[in-house]
Amino acid sequence: MNHLTIAKAALTAQAQAIGKLAERLDNEFQNAVELIRSCKGRAVVCGMGKSGLIGQKMVATFASTGTPSFFLHPAEAFHGDLGMLKASDVLILISYSGETEEVVKLIPSLKSFGNPIIAMTGSNTSTLAKHADVWLDISVAREVCPNNLAPTTSTLATMAMGDALAVALITAIGFKPMDFARYHPGGSLGRKLLTRVRDVMHSPAPQVGPDTPLHDCLLVMTQSRLGLALVVESGGQLIGIVTDGDLRRALLENPSVVNATVANVMTASPHTINADAQLSEAETYMHRHKIRALAVIDECNSSVVGVIEIFD
């Protein structure tokens, strides 16, 4: 049995199913997005079994991209958790058949509360679709399961529709990368966008004067373990930088330069960045200019307060 052939056929069939899902999108999708965007409460997603698992993923995506949301388990809702709802919430009920008992029996209560309902089902003639304010078609021709039984293609279609809603909402509410970072402070993106240069810079920065002998400069660079030293005049003004690369190039060109001073090998007018700049800004700047370190300057008095490397 060729498992690779089976897998490729399954992926191809699922990709085609998602393509057909896109072709069928109509004003009902538009209405669903507007209903969620304009609601004053939360997007409450409800589903049983695998639909419930996908619903929880939808909630996670909504919540992290600016749409307040939570998951309501249909069985628990019927036994008291309906009290979690507000009249301003919009319900997204998921059931491929549209007849899942635990979900369908919530409809009378939701109708009495006045909550608008978005149904995600595979049939517009199902009980759930008939009682919904908006119906999203997640039907597929068949499951990729060889027995056409295990929810596979249908669950993928459901998840894809949820992602489509989330993406449309991101654009509708003007959700920006900085907003995303605020909701993900522990992730790499959050660190880049929320962290300031002063939070991670090396301070104090290794410093030498322009008249410092190269031997002494090497000692400073070795002790700092940064492979560089900032060249600062007696008045505190930054005038240059010396890196390992500067020293290697100078020695290759003229071995006797080892007896010279820092002024003979430094790179003048080094690149700098403000201590309050975002870490992401520093990284972008270093990548653009193909450098691995920046001198960090205090905006108030232009004094050197540290140094930041591209790996910080």
Helix H, strand E, coil C: the string for 120-162 is EECCCCCHHHHCCCEEEECCCCCCCCCCCCCCCHHHHHHHHHH
Task: Quick: pLDDT tens for 219-237.
Answer: 888 888 888 899 998 877 8
pLDDT tens for each residue of 56-65: 999 999 998 9
Q: Would you list the domain boundaries of the chain?
A: 3-175, 197-309
User: Whole-structure pTM over 0.85, yes or no?
Assistant: no
User: Angle at CA 73, nearest 5°, toward 115 and 166?
Assistant: 65
Give the right CATH number for 197-309 from 3.40.50.720, 3.40.50.970, 3.40.470.10, 3.10.580.10: 3.10.580.10
Within the chain, what is the greatest distance between any pair of CA atoms? 91
In terms of CATH, what superfamily is 3-175? Glucose-6-phosphate isomerase like protein; domain 1 (3.40.50.10490)
Kindly calculate the radius of gyration of the chain based on its CA atoms and give it in whole angstroms.
30
> Among residues 287, 304, 290, which one has the least CA distance to residue 230?
304
> 99-108, 122-131, 273-282: lowest mean pLDDT where?
273-282
Q: Band of the pLDDT at 301, cuts 50, 70, 90? A: low
| pLDDT band at residue 291 under the 50/70/90 scheme | confident
- Whether 312 has a pLDDT exceeding 60, the answer reads no
The torsion angle over the Cα atoms of residues 211, 212, 218 and 224, rounded to 10 degrees, is: -110
Q: Which two tokens stand for residue 48?
A: 């049983």
- The token pair at 117 is 């309902």
Query: Which of the residue ranges 23-32, 39-48, 130-139, 179-188 would you say has the lowest mean pLDDT?
Result: 179-188
